[in-house]
């Protein structure tokens, strides 16, 4: 069993992991950059250690600094959280080589799913439907055979970076005329953002839903899937609101998607928590997009609605830690049922009226929502100054209701209670979305903001 866990992350997710570890009786170590000396995660862990200056490349992304921190504190395991090094197979490899347990999947799994072209090939081999598209990366945008292949997919198409993530580096192309330039630019952008110019092209599914399946798998080959999450409310291909279950998925479809995700996990011998992301069209056809080999931002909605053998007993981070310690899953897919409806709003330090421009600064005062069915995962407090170096997520507000309508009303009530003074946040934006008739009716697709929010603005 793990004795001391170092959390190679910051902010709300670091706190989330510290809490789970504490409840398991595991000692915790927080790491922090010079810009984060006042961040709440450093105060909640048993120990803390500074790992470098503010810029992430010199601290949270520095593998030597993090490994040294493990050695200095005697941590025998590392939890990477999300973002930063969580999907870096080399980091997983170095941890294992140093005798430190990496709380995540094997380096091979991270590697296989990290390249989205390879991931699609593996999914296809496992019999999982994938978004129609070219099978290999674009090498030469002038290649006649390639252009022909892309035309066969049919416009619009979307160009994506094979090593991409965080919604970055995607480009929608509507006609052959703009294709060549788009491919060239995408290659350049991908090289800059992800250190690789490997790009690919797939069919752009119009007005789709983003539906994803949380899985857990142990080191003995057991895989379970959870009810789907709908993460269609997005800006710039990044999620803002997530809910579970998805209002248009019935029991039959749920099984079908869940089994597809399970097949992929089995195909690569996956273990730990992971999420298989699909895009779903109006007819309920779903296609594999990518797999995130880590805990996700929106995991609490799954915790909120999932019953295990009839009990509300799911903690995905605890399960991740137990799996890393070699424990066998204590339940299978048939033991999981749904109770109620959960919604999560990502509260970002951003100005929704200025195209979600980051709005860091000092939080003068804050009042948190509470009451029945409300969960707040956050690292902010009155007097805290949000540094400019990192992600703008400052809180996750999660509600559970007996049904979707109650969850929406509860979320609106909680958003009203949530008062953050000193900076701009996405709270007003969320209120607006949740009061939109289309949202209330469940007409939620990835075009939602464009269709219902900005056009009226
Ligand atoms: P989730 O899939 O959990 O919803 P997000 O896409 O919001 O996660 O990403 C979680 C965090 O990880 C964000 O801070 C995001 O910017 C970051 N992230 C994810 N993948 C990458 C990547 N490949 N490069 C840079 N940042 C990433
Ligand atoms: P990332 O690694 O950045 O999360 P994804 O492949 O998961 O990239 O795509 C992010 C988002 O981009 C999706 O949730 C969806 O809204 C949009 N998207 C990606 N591929 C397609 C597609 N083929 N058709 C329509 N939308 C897409
Ligand atoms: Mg994704």
pLDDT in tens, 398-450: 999 999 999 999 999 999 999 999 999 999 999 999 999 999 999 999 999 99
Q: What predicted TM-score, i.e. pTM, was given to this entire model?
A: 0.97
Does the residue 40 lie in any domain?
Answer: yes
Q: What is the pLDDT of residue 126?
A: 98
As a whole number, mean pLDDT of residues 19-47 equals 98
Our answer to whether residue 410 is catalytic in this structure is: no
Question: How far is ligand 1, taken at its centre, from the CA of residue 293, in Å?
Answer: 11
pLDDT of residue 455: 62
Please report whether residue 113 resides in a domain. no
Nearest CA to ligand 2 atom 11: 237
Does 315 share its domain with 375? yes
* Domain CATH number, residue 26: 3.40.50.20
Domain count, the chain: 3
Over residues 358-394, the pLDDT tens digits come to: 999 999 999 999 999 999 999 999 999 999 999 999 9
Tens of pLDDT, residues 223-241: 999 999 999 999 999 999 9
Nearest CA to ligand 2 atom 13: 237
Is 174 in the same domain as 286?
no
Judge if 219 and 172 occupy the same domain.
Answer: no
Range of the domain at 87: 4-103
What rounded mean pLDDT belongs to the chain? 97
End-to-end CA distance of the chain: 54
Residue 122 in any domain: the answer is no
Q: Pocket around ligand 2: residues whose beta carbon is below 6 Å from it?
A: 131, 158, 164-167, 170, 202-205, 208, 210, 234, 237, 277, 279, 289-290, 446
Active-site residue (options: 10, 254, 294, 346): 294
Cα–Cα distance measured from residue 129 to residue 125, given in angstroms and rounded to the nearest whole number: 10
Residue nearest to atom 16 of ligand 2 (CA): 237
- Residue 52, helix vs strand vs coil: strand
Closest CA to 243 of 427, 434, 11, 377: 434
Pair (439, 389) in one structural domain: yes
Asked if residue 213 and residue 168 are part of one domain, the reply reads: no
| 419 & 334 share domain | yes
Indicate the DSSP class of residue 100.
Answer: -
Distance 99 CA to ligand 3 centre (A): 31
The pLDDT tens digits of the residues spanning 278-287 come to 999 999 999 9
- The answer, yes or no, to whether any atom of ligand 1 lies below 6 A from the CB of 166, is yes
243 and 182 share a domain?
A: no
Please indicate, yes or no, if residue 60 is contained in any of the structural domains: yes
Residues 35 and 95 in one domain: yes
- Are both 198 and 214 inside the same structural domain? no
Q: How many CA atoms lie within 13 A of 264 on its CB side?
A: 35
Give 165 Cα–ligand 1 centroid separation in angstroms: 6
What is the 80 CA–ligand 1 centroid distance (Å)? Answer: 12
* Whether residue 339 is found in the same domain as residue 392: yes
Q: Which residues pair with 7 in a beta bridge?
A: 30, 79
Per-residue pLDDT, 457: 38
């Amino acid at each position: 069993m793990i004795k001391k866990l170092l959390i190679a992350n910051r902010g709300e997710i670091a706190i989330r992991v510290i809490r789970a570890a504490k409840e398991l009786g595991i000692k915790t170590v927080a790491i922090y950059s010079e810009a984060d000396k006042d961040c709440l995660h450093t105060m909640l862990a048993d120990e803390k250690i500074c790992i470098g200056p503010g810029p992430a490349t010199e601290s949270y992304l520095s593998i030597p600094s993090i490994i040294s921190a493990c050695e200095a504190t005697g941590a025998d395991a590392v939890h990477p959280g999300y973002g930063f090094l969580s999907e870096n197979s080399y980091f997983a490899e170095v941890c294992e080589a140093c005798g430190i347990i990496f709380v995540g999947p094997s380096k091979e799994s991270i590697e296989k799913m990290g390249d989205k072209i390879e991931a699609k090939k593996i999914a296809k081999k496992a019999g999982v439907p994938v978004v129609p598209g070219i099978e290999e990366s674009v090498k030469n945008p002038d290649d006649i055979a390639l252009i022909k292949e892309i035309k066969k997919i049919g416009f619009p198409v979307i160009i994506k970076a094979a090593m991409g993530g965080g919604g970055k580096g995607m480009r929608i192309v509507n006609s052959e005329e703009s294709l060549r330039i788009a491919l060239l630019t995408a290659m350049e952008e991908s090289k800059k953002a992800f250190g690789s110019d490997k790009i690919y092209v797939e069919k752009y599914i119009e007005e789709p839903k983003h539906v994803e399946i949380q899985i857990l798998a142990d080191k003995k080959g057991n895989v379970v899937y959870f009810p789907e999450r709908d993460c269609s409310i997005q800006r710039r291909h990044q999620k803002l609101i997530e809910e579970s279950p998805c209002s248009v998925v019935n029991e039959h479809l749920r099984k079908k998607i869940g089994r597809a995700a399970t097949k992929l996990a089995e195909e690569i011998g996956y273990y730990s928590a992971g999420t298989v992301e699909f895009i779903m069209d109006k007819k309920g056809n779903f296609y594999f997009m990518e797999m995130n080999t880590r805990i996700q931002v929106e995991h609490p909605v799954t915790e909120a609605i999932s019953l295990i053998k009839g009990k509300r007993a799911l903690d995905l981070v605890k399960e991740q830690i137990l799996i890393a310690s070699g424990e066998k899953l204590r339940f299978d897919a048939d033991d999981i049922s749904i109770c109620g409806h959960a919604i999560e709003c990502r509260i970002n330090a951003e100005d929704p009226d200025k195209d979600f421009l980051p709005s860091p600064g000092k939080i003068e005062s804050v009042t948190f929502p509470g009451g029945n069915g409300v969960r707040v995962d956050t690292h902010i407090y009155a007097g805290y100054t949000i540094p400019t170096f990192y992600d703008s997520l400052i809180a996750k507000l999660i509600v559970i209701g007996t049904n979707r309508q109650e969850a929406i009303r509860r979320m609106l009530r909680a958003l009203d209670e949530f008062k953050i003074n000193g900076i701009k946040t996405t709270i007003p934006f969320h209120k607006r979305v949740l009061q939109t008739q289309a949202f209330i009716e469940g007409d939620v697709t990835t075009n939602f903001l464009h269709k219902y929010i900005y056009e009226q603005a």
